[in-house]
Structure 1
Amino acid sequence: MISSRTSRILLCGVLAVGAAAAPPAAAATPGTPGPKPGAAPGKVGTPVVQGPIPGTVPGDPKAPDVRDTYPWMSTNVNLASAGYVEQEFYVSGKADGYGVTGERVASGVPYKTRVIVRRPAHPARFNGTVLAEWQNVTAGYDLDALWSAEQIIRGGYAWVGVSAQRVGVDQLRGWSPARYGGLDVTGGGRFTADELSYDVYAQVAKALRATKGVRPLGGLKARTVLAVGASQSAGRMTVYYDNVLPKTEAVFDGFANIVGSAPSRKGAEPVFQVLSETDVRSPVRRADDEVFRRWEVAGAAHSGWNGQEYRRPILRRDLGEAPSYTCDQPPWSRVPLHHVVAASYAHLTRWIERGVRPPSAPPLELNADGSKPRDELGLALGGIRLSQVEVPTALNTGDNSGETFCLLFGTHVPFERARLDRLYPSHGRYVAAVAKADKRNVRAGYLLPGDAQQNLRDAAASDVGRR
């Protein structure tokens, strides 16, 4: 577990939505070897892939441990029943290093990392799009922040988690020396500010398209590869897009920057930024254009209830306990930001493959001082308004305070029965209002039909409006 002090330090970079959250650039190391003779400038290397790594790995005889038998944060979702598989691979090669302003500080540095793949077992289930997630390390370990099983499996995506940063890889090495002891993304300790991370991430994308050697996607053929990342990872992707990508080979077809910063450069690859209410604190926004969309979701939190509930048993399994927090308000907004993120993936894929531009969305309303005006129920105004906000049964906001990560969790305060009875005199009227709000969001393109159907089932099963 990480300390409160470490948590606060990590938080310094988490909420930098207007600017990339990234470590300072490192100075070039004297004697760093240059490009190999004849190498194409900016060419992204194709790494060596090993695997899939067996599920059971011999433990260290000095400290045998169950952690050597499965990948870190292996999902607890029954993938087999959905026609999916989870596999882990080692990826190794020689990477170039870059500072945060895009200057190359190293060339040909050996590295070895791991990727975790969750994909359809058979090509017929695959929609052709790979979500290559830059795993978030703000908590001190790799976090599959954008793994949303219901939406990803229903859509037929392949999801690939990439361990690109030192903090995550170092934690893996300590968690299971037998499984991960050979990993290193620092060039033997020479590059500890994640200078290699940009090229490592790009090389994994290159491997996902490879037709020779070990193929992480098995028999699946990737038609579209999206770079996706949340919070701090979105900040790293922003640095990559703005400063590194212009000097290197393009290997991603599009970018989904979620609850974090987005590029300021207008490049060839489209960018989709999705922000929770937590993340919007300034009226200064990049305008939508032919390669950029920004959506803001009222009532949603940077890290909400859905992700917390999914990860709690997994962290208890892999760390012995899940972290707990004492926040000033009841935490974890239940506005499903992941529903909007899933819709953004579908739009981004169509944008790339068919040139169909996604719809724009109204921004959240802001006061002159950056605070958010609220209605009589305490709900933010403007933005994408899912049925959980338009037809509320609780106060969900993006705000909170308290220890360490509390400011990221938002709030969730269920309405008292008397208020629910005033708002919804009958159960049927409540269910009809949910259906109407979701139908409007589906038509607008902010919500997928499958998620609208689940919302309707949840509303029908509730006791709201029942006396």
Structure 2
Amino acid sequence: MKRFLPRTKRRSRPVAVLGVLTAAAVLSAAAPPQIAAGPIAEHATPKTADLAVAAKPVATPIVTGPIPAAMPPGTDLTHNYPQLAAEPGFDVSGRGYVEEEFFFEGKATRYDTPPMADGVAVSTDHPYRTRMIVRRPDTPAKFNGVVIVEWVNVTSGYNLDVHWQESRDYLTREGYAYVGVSAQRVGVQQEPYGLTAWSPTRYGTLDVTAGGTITDDSLSYDIFSQAGQAVRTNPAVLGGLRPDTVLAVGQSQSASRLALYYNSIQPLARVYDGFMLFVGSGGPFRTDVPAKLLRISTETEVALNRVPYQADSRVLRSWEIAGASHVDYWFMMNRMQGVARDGLRPFEFACDRPPLSHVDTKNVLNAGYHHLVNWVRHDVQPPTAPRIRTMPTPDGVVIPRDENGIAFGGIRLAEVDAPIATNTGENSGPELCRLYGSHQPFTAEKLASLYPTHDAYVRAVRNVTNSNLRKGFILERDAAETVREAEVSRVGTSHPLPIP
């Protein structure tokens, strides 16, 4: 396994006074007013931006917790446990990790986020209270010094920690700490799956709308800054662990919000050392912001023309994964278990083509974390990657494909360069089908023509995977697992197993 370069001592930065960590109190306060469902704002654009006020330095919030759970997740009808915590099939404690939930509160500044410019503070001192979920090594010896702070995704109406679910094996193996932050109204207060509606018993005191007066998420940027400040300055949040690198990450809608954050808030707050934006729209990005930014996109975003071209620079790197989809099969298999247990919104898979690409995007994400940390700590730039090939049309772009229906260009994992199916980032149909991509297995005859023997298939997978390992798009442990899966498959035998 490739390891991080040794850590160097970081320069200290001015911080606010430490927040107070108290024992969890009985949550007896009345729940804040419920906000009617409505469209999710792409970004905050308060009409009063011309009445700008002086922004305050990022405050350190008051942190309460860890908040105890009444019963094991899934066994309490009042949901008095962290939403989507203690995921089925993944033993956090068995990995030497602790999972805890905290509430944090304070007063937030409302920001306008003008394109490619510093944010404008519209008003200040708006009270809020929300939550963070923390997963950390149980001893300092296991901690690699890096904290991943995720702006959790709320597109489905609940708090989905995509980066954790995608890369939890890698993160726990390598000693990262993880913090998931609920910063938006939909995830905190929108019925029926927002926290206050999902469990009034546990979450009834949370409010990110200043009592229902600010419902456009323009407080979310400062809330996210204050979460990072708490991670940096309050040792109890991480059980006494002392971070030296704090990264902001987000997926899809959350990545798009972090694009605005990077351009408008990071120059003011400077809480985060680096950013990973996964499958989000947004950009272009400023090049005068010192924080490093790695943008990872799948074929879906390219097909939807949501990845505006911008050349790589000393602070920006863009990767695109061929054949991958916005939501992939492996992630969805993990996600469905927790969603079903917690009674959250079910999924619709009646798409026009078989949904969910099997390209394993987590392998590229894991490599991305590795490179981003060394980029932030030592200015070792990540590898550059070719873009997915496109052709312009009056309505956007078209992705040309080879005889197997697979795109050209991009980062090419074994699923596309030693294929046993056509994986794409494109689909259509109801609900979120356009984000699921497609997976159409090859016929037995086609497999036999491509891989006349099992060894031929394993060699093809090994060659592609070793090439990606040399280029830096997959790490050693994930590369070995990819080859091992090919070795135990029956591709190229006289009795191949059905491909899921």
TM-score (norm 1): 0.89
The partner residue of 1:84 within 97, 118, 122 is 97
Counterparts of 1:253 and 1:344 in 2: how far apart (Å)? 15
- Any idea what the Cα deviations from partners look like across 1:351-385, whole Å, max 9, x if unmatched? 01011011100111011321011010000000000
| Alpha-carbon separation, structure 2, partners of 1:364 and 1:321 | 33
Q: Which residue of 1 aligns with 2:275?
A: 255
Give me the TM-score of the superposition, normalised by structure 2.
0.84
Q: Say if 1:110 and 1:31 are closer, same or farther in 2 by CA, change over 3 A.
A: farther
Q: Does 1:318 align with 2:342?
A: yes
Amino acid at match of 1:346: H
Pairwise CA distance, 1:298: 0.2
Equivalence for 1:434: 461
Count of residues in correspondence between the two structures: 438
| 1:371 maps to which of 392, 398, 423 | 398
More displaced, 93-102 or 106-115?
A: 93-102
Distance in 2 (alpha carbons) for counterparts of 1:27 and 1:106: 12
One-letter identity of the residue aligned with 2:251: A
Percent identity between the two aligned chains: 44
Read off the aligned partner of 1:425 and give its amino acid letter. P
Contact 1:228 1:257 in 2 (8 A): yes
In structure 2, what residue type is equivalent to 1:461?
A: V
2:138 corresponds to: 121
CA distance in 2 between counterparts of 1:295 and 1:435 reads 22
Q: Say if 1:208 and 1:73 are closer, same or farther in 2 by CA, change over 3 A.
A: same
- C-alpha distance in structure 2 between counterparts of 1:152 and 1:366, whole Å: 34
> How big is each residue's C-alpha offset from its partner over 1:132-180, in whole Å with a ceiling of 9 and x where there is no partner?
0001111111111111221211222111110000000011000000110
- 1:28 Cα deviation (Å)? 3.6
Shift of 1:321: 6.6
Q: Does residue 411 of structure 1 match 2:438?
A: yes
Residue 153 in 1 paired to residue 180 in 2? no
Deviations 1:20-79 (A, max 9, x none): x724512349999x76xxxxx541000111111102179xxxxx9534331001122111
CA contact (8 A) 1:67 1:318 kept: no
Match of 2:352 in 1: 328
Find the partner of 1:245 among 259, 266, 272: 266
**Among 162, 169, 184, which residue is 2:207 paired with?**
184
- In the alignment, the residues of structure 2 paired with residue 338 and residue 434 of structure 1 have an alpha-carbon distance, to the nearest angstrom, of 17
1:16 paired residue number = none
The range that moved more, 455-464 or 311-320, is: 311-320
User: 1-side partners of 2:229 and 2:51: how far apart?
Assistant: 28
Partner of 2:197: 174
CA distance, structure 2, for counterparts of residue 217 and residue 239 of structure 1: 27
Residue aligning to 1:279: 301
Q: Which secondary structure does the structure 2 equivalent of 1:45 belong to? A: coil
Contact preservation (8 Å) 1:57, 1:178: no
Q: Cα 1:456–1:67, aligned 2, differ >3 Å: closer, same or farther?
A: farther
- SS of 2:83's equivalent? coil
- How far 1:100 sits from its partner (Å)? 3.1
> Quick one: distance in 1 between partners of 2:408 and 2:444?
24
SS in 2 for 1:429: helix
Which SS does the other structure have where 1:137 is aligned? coil
Helix, strand or coil at the partner of 1:236: helix
Q: 1:234 aligns with which of 238, 255, 261?
A: 255
* Within-5 A mapping of 1:38-53: 42-53=56-67
CA distance in 2, matches of 1:403, 1:310: 22
Q: 1:383 aligns with which of 402, 407, 410?
A: 410
1:450 aligned onto 2:477: yes
Question: What root-mean-square deviation, in Å, do the aligned CA atoms of Structure 1 and Structure 2 show?
Answer: 2.3
Q: Which residue in 2 is equivalent to 1:339?
A: 363
- Work out the CA distance in 2 between the residues paired with 1:333 and 1:144: 20
3-state SS, counterpart of residue 273 of structure 1: strand
Aligned counterparts, 1:22-171, within 5 A: 22-28=42-48, 42-56=56-70, 65-74=76-85, 75-76=87-88, 77-101=90-114, 102-147=119-164, 148-170=167-189, 171=194
**Separation (CA, whole Å) in 2 of partners of 1:236 and 1:176:** 26
